[in-house]
Structure 1
Amino acid sequence: MKPKYRILISAVDAFGHINCTLGFGEILAEAGHEVTFAHRIRYKKLADLRGFKFIPLDESIFDELSNQPFLLWTEKNMNKFRDDPIGRYSNWTDEDKEMFASVVDDYKITNKAMEKLINENKDSFDILIGDFVTRYPALYLSPIPYIPIFSMNPLSLYPHGPPMFSGFSVNGDPNESEKYRHVYQSSCARLREKLEIWWKSHDVPKIPGTNWYADVPKYFGFYHYPEELDYHECEPKEPEDKWILVDALIRKPDDESEFIIPESIASLPGKLIYFSLGSLGSVDVDLMRKLISILSKSPNRFIVSKGPRGDEIELANNMWGANYVNQIAIVKLVDLVITHGGNNTFLETIYSGKPLIVIPYFFDQFDNAQRVVDCGIGRRLNPWDLDEKNVLATIEETLNNHEMSKKIEEIAASMRSNKTREKAVKIIEDFIEKIKQS
């Protein structure tokens, strides 16, 4: 009889990372293992929906959490994120660099909560799997073997490719890449310094190699990306033998009810398009309003995810939307997705075989946007250059590009039929069994 292992999963407090981790947990549960999701109490329902066990993190620890300064800085500097790649990180003051680095203070709080959880449950689980992006001392030192998931664009795993978060093409100008690396490293110098001080205080080594931010697996890790879009032309990865691709960790929808197209747009002419800038990009209300104004002049219909500040956004007559929508169910119904390019929405769109237009706003969204163009499955529009005529023309061209639609449908079929999920489960089972025997 096949052994049943006890698997603990967790993630940083961000929906994209949580969703990927839940998707991983689902394939392990389907293989017969006992999955427990550990997170803040507000996410318990996500475990319940999937039949997972749940352990709440100690909420009293999060009383120390104050990300307000970072959020205020982000809102104050929206113009930075609308700029071109080099302009995004140019001319930062010492205050900017310090505020950007303040996210490490949030990491420390989460690390403290995870450390307590692990110590209290160190004999209760065979393995810990999590999506935390960077190195957390509690995870690195965990007595429960820790296997990381990397749910961001994988360019940062390829040191011979364009610089991460730049949005540069693999066929781009090396001189521009070098300029970007210089301004990026300068702006992030304080962030890097705080991370390395933190790691040293716990006797944890800093992350080796060119990418000092993305964690390196102690044993092995999994990254989530379609095989056909992976950066094979930039190989090898770093480290070459520790990152394993899984190209379809698409979670089951939190709401499994069928989405019915609202009456207000159901009878209107035109194609049906989903528009979302994600929970971060949609905070930029000015950008949202500008795009909604442009889309109102399209002959098509739109479903809009308005985001956390959606009450400040008024939609046009050819639109229906809400602050939060049943995205997975909606993507299946539409003809096109206009997205910020966060890995979660990005991969859900490709998995559903829908062409996409990416308007990147933060971090790896720029890399996904350029990968869409380089691989011929969609178009990219930049937030610093949103010309009305160009936006509307890009929508029509993408909707009517049959070659593009065929290519993305082929990638979707491959994601649904390949065996990378089964392979990942087998690797984990073999690893646990090896540890038990030793």
Structure 2
Amino acid sequence: MSQKTFAFFPEAAFGPALNSVGIAQAVERLGHKAVFLSDPGFVGVYEGYGFEAHPVNLSEPMPPEQMAKFWEDFINGHIPNFRKAPIDQIDNYVKECWEAIVDSAKWAQKDLPGILARIQPDVIAVDNVILFPAIKQFGVPWVRIISCSENEIEDDAIPPHLSGMSVDDKEGHAAFRKKFNEVIKPIHEDFNAFLATTGEDPYPLGQFFEASPYLNLLLYPEPVTYDRAEPLDPRRFQYLEGCVRQDDPYEVPAFKRNSDGPLLYISFGSLGAGDTELLKRLISLIGKSRYRALVNVGDYMDAYEDLPDNVIIQSWYPQPSVIPQVDAVIHHGGNNSFTECLYFGKPAIVMAYVWDGHDNAMRVQETGHGFRSDRYDWTDEEMIEKIEACLTDETMAARLRKTSAHMQAANGQEKAARLLTGLVENKA
């Protein structure tokens, strides 16, 4: 087959962006060309991995550094809401996110038709929670990637997306769906009005995207998937078993204290790093323990002084190279952190703050791969107890080894690349 062009359009967050990078690398290993459609602030990320990237305005145009600051300020402004239960975040954080997401679809429609006409992709893969009509209408196979929690594809038998609820809390599921639809209704009506201007049919209340008729790729690994009332059709829905990308190698530095102690990795992602008080509290706890810790503090290096000798901080780590070398991870439930811990068989304590982190935290605990922890309401003794369980629970360790072996045998990147290129072969 002659070289084809595969366009990837992840949302402007490092989780989906880096997941798509991994798939794009595998596509290129098969001899094809991968390009990125990108929020202007992420163009440099894709170019850094050697890909061609085309900026698509998803908001009022502004310099990339200003765009990055916008989302940083947005998250930091919501830190008080991180103390709330997921259902109580619907009318503040979740509502404001959906307003911004709907606006992004409107802005994208201005740029996308011209960009697609220029690059002429043979397949388009979009990792987002909202429909971009121009992609659906371009006339080539389009693929939906679901790198967030699996329940982004709803089913009546499983917890609603973003709820962080147990599978057995049916009453809670109904309450969450009811409040979500009430709060989101005006935003949803606005989105449907926009769809009408593009010739698209309206979506049912609460739905902002649809499954692709061609192919849908879920990042979730099968060992932690939900039992659905209506199983997903494997001809259209495929699990990528984590799809972990390759990154720069990492050598664990020498620690001045606890040089042989269990090694922890702590990260709340690039945006969650703004919660410096929580990270300082964890660092203080580790400083009094037998452990060592590598801590990702993002752009807030200057906020930390007098670090204990068994803690090392950096603004960024090549996470897929770090996690295999640690004994346990404390993270925010982001899709990459969630799947990388499972892929490398590492127990996790998930301290979620927003979005699907809540769902991933509950899923880690319900499936016996780690623990869900409240983000703020915990004592030092409770946190140490969870860490020790991560280090010593043999049943959990055996389950993690089994899940890790399953995921690594699947090779999700190559699987995704084969499925994507198969769309072009089938079309031919």
C-alpha distance in 1 between matches for 2:346 and 2:392: 12
Q: Aligned partners of 1:276, 1:159: CA distance in 2, in Å?
A: 31
Structure 1 residue 114, shift from structure 2 partner: 2.9
Superposition deviation, residue 77 in structure 1: 3.3
What residue is the counterpart of 1:15 in the other structure?
14
Which residue among 129, 133, 141 is the counterpart of 2:129?
Answer: 133
Instruction: Identify the residue that residue 120 of structure 1 maps to in structure 2.
Output: 118
Cross-structure match for 1:278: 269
Offset at residue 398 of structure 1 (A): 1.2
Aligned-pair CA distance for 1:237: 4.7
Contact 2:273 2:300 in 1 (8 A): yes
**How many residues were matched structurally?**
423
For residue 212 of structure 2, the aligned residue among 217, 220, 224 is 217
> In structure 1, what is the equivalent of residue 236 of structure 2?
242
- Contact kept in structure 1, 2:241 and 2:411, CA below 8 Å: no
Alignment correspondent of 2:302: 311
Deviation at 1:345, TM superposition (A): 1.3
Aligned ranges for residues 140-219 of structure 1 at < 5 Å?
140-160=136-156, 161-170=158-167, 172-208=168-204, 212-219=207-214
Deviates more, 1:355-364 or 1:105-114: 105-114
In 2: Cα distance, 1:13 partner to 1:107 partner: 13
For the structure 1 residues 155 and 59, does the alpha-carbon distance in structure 2 shift closer, same or farther, using more than 3 Å as the test? closer
Distance 1:406 1:89, change over 3 A: same
- Structure 1's 5 and 404: CA in aligned 2 closer, same or farther, altered over 3 A? same
Seen in structure 2, the aligned counterparts of structure 1 residues 278 and 215 have a Cα distance that, compared at 3 Å, is: farther
Structure 1 residue 230 corresponds to structure 2 residue 229 = no
Instruction: Tell me whether 1:251 sits opposite 2:245 in the alignment.
Output: yes
Structure 1 unpaired stretches of 5+? none
By how many angstroms is 1:26 displaced? Answer: 2.0
Q: Could you tell me which residue of structure 2 aligns to residue 397 of structure 1?
A: 389
* Alignment deviations for residues 222-248 of structure 1 (CA, whole Å, 9 cap, x no partner): 1111111111x1242568863221214
AA in 2 matched with 1:159: D
How do 1:27-426 and structure 2 match up within 5 A? 27-39=26-38, 47=46, 52=51, 54-57=52-55, 63=61, 72=73, 74-89=75-90, 97=95, 101-122=99-120, 125-160=121-156, 161-170=158-167, 172-208=168-204, 212-231=207-226, 233-237=227-231, 242-253=236-247, 256=248, 258-265=249-256, 268-314=259-305, 315-418=307-410, 423-426=415-418
Give yes or no for contact 2:39–2:58 (8 Å, CA) kept in 1. no
SS at match of 2:255: helix
What TM-score does the superposition give when structure 2 sets the normalisation length?
A: 0.88
**One-letter code aligned to 1:29:** E
Aligned-pair distance for 1:141? 1.6
Q: Which moved more, 1:319-328 or 1:242-251?
A: 242-251
CA distance in 2, matches of 1:325, 1:392: 24
What amino acid is aligned across from residue 198 of structure 2 in structure 1?
H
**Helix, strand or coil at the partner of 2:223:** helix
* Shift, 1:159, TM fit: 1.2
In 2, the alpha carbon distance for the partners of 1:242 and 1:203 equals 25
On the 8 A contact 2:9/2:127 being kept in 1, the answer is: yes
Q: State yes or no: 1:4 paired with 2:7.
A: no
What are structure 2's unaligned runs of at least 5 residues?
none
Contact 1:206 1:212 in 2 (8 A): no
TM-score by length of 1: 0.86
How many Å separate the matches in 1 of 2:94 and 2:23?
A: 36
Distance 2:104 2:43 in 1: 21
SS at structure 2 position matched to 1:222: strand
CA contact (8 A) 1:98 1:191 kept: no
Secondary structure (helix, strand or coil) at the match of 1:89 reads helix
- Identity over aligned residues, as a percent? 25
Taking structure 1 as reference, are residues 416 and 269 closer, same or farther at Cα in structure 2, changes over 3 Å only?
closer
Change (3 A) 1:283 1:214: farther
Q: How far has the Cα of 1:431 moved from its partner?
A: 2.4
Alignment check: 8 A CA contact 2:7 2:37 kept = yes
**SS of the residue 2:61 aligns to:** helix
**TM-fit CA distance, 1:400:** 0.8
How far 1:304 moved relative to its partner?
0.2
Change (3 A) 1:115 1:74: same
- Output the CA distance in 2 between the equivalents of 1:299 and 1:431: 52
- SS of residue in 2 equivalent to 1:264: coil
What is the root-mean-square deviation in Å for CA atoms of aligned residues? Answer: 3.0
1:338, CA displacement in angstroms?
0.7
Q: Distance in 2 between matches of 1:319 and 1:214?
A: 43
| Amino acid in the other structure paired with 2:228 | C
Question: Separation in 1 of the partners of 2:160 and 2:251?
Answer: 42
Deviation at 1:277, TM superposition (A): 0.8
Instruction: Give the aligned residue type for 2:322.
Output: I
Give the secondary-structure state (helix, strand or coil) at the position aligned to 1:366.
Answer: helix
| Distance in structure 1 (CA, Å) of the matches to 2:166 and 2:395 | 21
In the alignment, the residues of structure 1 paired with residue 54 and residue 20 of structure 2 have an alpha-carbon distance, to the nearest angstrom, of 16
Distance in structure 2 (CA, Å) of the matches to 1:312 and 1:28: 41
Question: What is the rounded CA distance, in whole Å, between the counterparts of 1:60 and 1:149 in structure 2?
Answer: 19
AA paired with 2:162? Answer: F
Determine if contact 1:265/1:301 at 8 Å carries over to the other structure: no
